[in-house]
Structure 1
Amino acid sequence: MLCFIVLSGTLAVISNELDWLANPAKRVAPSSVEGMNWQKIYTGAQQQVPVNSLRSIQAPLHRWFSAEVIYLDKDKQRHRMFFHPTTGGYLGDGRWLNWQRFFRMLHRHLMLPLTLGITLVSLFAVVMMAMLVSSMYIYKGWWKHFFRAPRWQHRKTRWVDLHRLVGVWSLWFLLIISVTGCWYLAERWGADATSPGRLTATSTEALANQKMPSIPTFAAMLLDTQRVFPELAIERVNFAKESSDVIEIQGQGRALLVRPRANFVTFDPATGQLIQHHDGRDLSVHNRISEAADPLHFGVWGGMFSKIVYFMFGLFLTGLTVTGTYMYGMRVARISRHELKPRRRIWRQAFSHMKALGWVSAIGICVSIFYGVFIFLY
């Protein structure tokens, strides 16, 4: 189960990039992009679907990504549309349940009800924290292994040395993942921070019905956002879902390690009147800890570079769970030094010593994957 959680999290780090590979509508030539034209995309989206069905516009994740619009169909199900960031040209559509959603749901809560799933997954962060602390006692002088070459003469020493070498280089990563995972557990059971309060719309029209801004009003909102919050790099626009809702423009400012929702400017959807703006630097310590959890856990804080680093060390951590099991199998199988091709017996012995909880975990993994594939395909 630990191996599965780590592997699914590793794939979740690059899940948006997997979507980019799977859906041609998400791809644009970087040389054709000259900034994000929110007004053209808003105009183009209205030409594809009823304006009241629009829910949000998302800026491209990277220069080679298209902009994304979320809308509701006639059955109130979410769908995606993709547009060229600069020209606003329509590029195609996509399902709500894409690779990003698949690996997020699989890793975050194993396709289970949220509280149950998040609790089970986060408990393994406690296990990883225990592994991190105990390893420093089990491996005396662990700091000496950073540059110690593995001994290849014998099977056991080879795997032990490789396990230690990868382990010491992964300590920082294991610490970040386990601490943030423990925080998710605490959040789910009462330690979650309260988000900054949002004020409602003020105009009579917006208070009475869901209201979408006209194109000139939307353009004026964008200009006002740059005026009142010039440091804000806009990443997302959320539209009103029901009466009294505001238009919320989110992004990144000067606050470090926060999600885009920490910096926002809101407007009345009918009149374009500025309602509220908030700088992520004004958050409480509790809120800053909560906001930092996701960027640190998934490695999005440094763009593509940090994601590649997290992906590599995620593979290393997955490898540690596999080699740890293999080393356990070698110990219980009592392989002699001269035995030929013992791998099957090693794995067979390792799995034969699984207790009931191990088999429950294995069955749970299979059920999660099959259920995820089912909802993903159908």
Structure 2
Amino acid sequence: MAKLSNRFWFQLHGWFSLPVWIIFCFVCLTGTIAVVSHELTWLTNPDSRANNPQQLIEKSSAELVDIVQQAHPTASISTVVTFEPYLVNAVIFTDSDKPFAIAYVNQYTGEIQAINEGMTFINFMRGLHSWLLFPWESNYSIGYYIVCAMAIAMLGALVTGLVIYKNFWRAFTQPKLRLNQGKKTLLSDLHRLAGVWSLWFLLLMSLTGLWYLVQAILWHNDVDLEAHAPLVSAQQLPINSVDIPVADISLSEALVIAKNKFPDFKGTYIMLPEHTRDTYKLYGKGDFTFYDEHSYGVIINPWTGVIESTRQPDDMTPLQTLSHIADPLHYGNIGGLWTKAIWFLFGVLLTGMSITGFLMWGSRTVKAAKSVDSELEPKSKEIK
């Protein structure tokens, strides 16, 4: 009975892992690369580096907007994105000859180091990992569901693997790696060791992946986790103006208002008003370690300077909290380069586990097929 039970769990473990092996391995590999996509960009693209040899003070987002506006007087600037300190800031704009462009501005020197009118490597890798670059239609992407469903396969493989591997905790204190007992034994030892040492990582990826699946279902059904930014009342707009009115509150003043509201606020995603009734949307991070870089938000009326709404971790609902802690836990950017390096290492292990698991399954399948053939061969001779 115990033998039958072990066989059942092994087959179930295989079914959780193998039918989706190619997709699972691809998602693990692209996710591992996505974790260090910023660092790879820094290594391969000199224009992305925020060099600061003279130790200059970092310029504000408002100053960067002014720099781009002077270089492109007819441009309509919509967004300023801040990355790691060693990467330049991105100022997104449109112009008469540029339907969509990103100006990479050194936040220390103020130099526009490059203009990009296509997809960046960072966005490409994140999109490839998150939704396989499938198109988004009606608030959902089939690719997003496929990737999120891998969390179910990962969790199933984790549970069944623990059932199969008796006394798995011994691998922490007595790791076993037999190098001289054949390919099959070596693959099995590598697979088990990587699995045991990656238990926390597997569980973390499974749980965050399941949350992404829930989030996708909510999006698909038009359930908003956070309220949309309010529009400015029409009564607050200036009247009897021949030209398009200019907002009374500048971006620099809006940033000061946000800083007064949240002293630890550091803007990472700044959106300028797109029309007269739109608002400044200032998103950033604060002093909460496990929250993402958009966990703080200040929506400011550009005509009056009034704060229309705010966002901060203390006021979040449970679902909003999950939404803002999932990415840092999934991509490992909670502690900078050190945690990214750890996530990258275990991402490599997880990718390797999917490969060794497939090789083990292939070896057993070939052996079983040969065994069946050898049993059938004598019977075929008897029939003749």
- TM-score w.r.t. structure 1 length? 0.80
Structure 1 residues 226 and 85: CA distance shift in structure 2, 3 A: same
Q: Counterpart in 2 of 1:180? A: 208
What are the Cα deviations for residues 135-162 of structure 1, in whole angstroms up to 9, with x where unaligned?
Answer: 1101011111124130112122221111
Pick which of 34-43 and 227-236 moved more: 34-43
Q: Counterpart in 2 of 1:257? A: 290
What are the Cα deviations for residues 80-136 of structure 1, in whole angstroms up to 9, with x where unaligned?
Answer: 111121232222222340111211221111122343111111111100010011111
AA aligned to 2:299 is T
Structure 1 residues 129 and 306: CA distance shift in structure 2, 3 A: same
Measure how far apart 1:332 and its partner are: 2.4
Give the one of 146, 153, 165 matched to 1:139. 165
Measure how far apart 1:78 and its partner are: 2.4
Q: Counterpart in 1 of 2:251? A: 218
For residues 112 and 304 of structure 2, the distance between their equivalents in structure 1, rounded to whole angstroms, comes to 28
For residues 256 and 193 of structure 1, the distance between their equivalents in structure 2, rounded to whole angstroms, comes to 25
Q: Partner of 1:122: helix, strand, or coil? A: helix
Q: How does 1:13-162 map to 2 (within 5 A)?
A: 13-31=35-53, 32-50=55-73, 53-59=76-82, 61-74=83-96, 77-114=99-136, 115-147=141-173, 148-155=175-182, 156-162=184-190
Q: Counterpart in 2 of 1:287? A: 320
Kindly indicate whether the alpha-carbon contact (under 8 Å) linking 1:250 and 1:264 is maintained by their aligned counterparts in 2: yes
Which blocks of at least 5 consecutive residues in structure 2 are unaligned?
1-22, 369-384
Q: How does 1:339-358 map to 2 (within 5 A)?
A: none
Q: Counterpart in 1 of 2:373? A: none
Q: Partner of 1:70: helix, strand, or coil? A: strand
- TM-score w.r.t. structure 2 length? 0.79
Q: Counterpart in 2 of 1:234? A: 267
Structure 1 residues 75 and 140: CA distance shift in structure 2, 3 A: farther
Measure how far apart 1:301 and its partner are: 1.6
What are the Cα deviations for residues 273-308 of structure 1, in whole angstroms up to 9, with x where unaligned?
Answer: 443333222111111012211111111222221111
What are the Cα deviations for residues 31-60 of structure 1, in whole angstroms up to 9, with x where unaligned?
Answer: 43533432321210111224661111122x
Q: How does 1:262-341 map to 2 (within 5 A)?
A: 262-334=295-367
Kindly indicate whether the alpha-carbon contact (under 8 Å) linking 1:52 and 1:211 is maintained by their aligned counterparts in 2: no
For residues 138 and 211 of structure 1, the distance between their equivalents in structure 2, rounded to whole angstroms, comes to 70
Q: Partner of 1:334: helix, strand, or coil? A: helix
AA aligned to 1:198 is A
What are the Cα deviations for residues 15-42 of structure 1, in whole angstroms up to 9, with x where unaligned?
Answer: 2223323432211225435334323212
Q: Counterpart in 1 of 2:382? A: none
Kindly indicate whether the alpha-carbon contact (under 8 Å) linking 2:74 and 2:96 is maintained by their aligned counterparts in 1: no
CA RMSD across the alignment: 2.6
Q: Identity over the aligned pairs, expressed in percent?
A: 30
Measure how far apart 1:228 and its partner are: 1.8
Pick which of 63-72 and 2-11 moved more: 63-72
Q: Partner of 1:198: helix, strand, or coil? A: coil
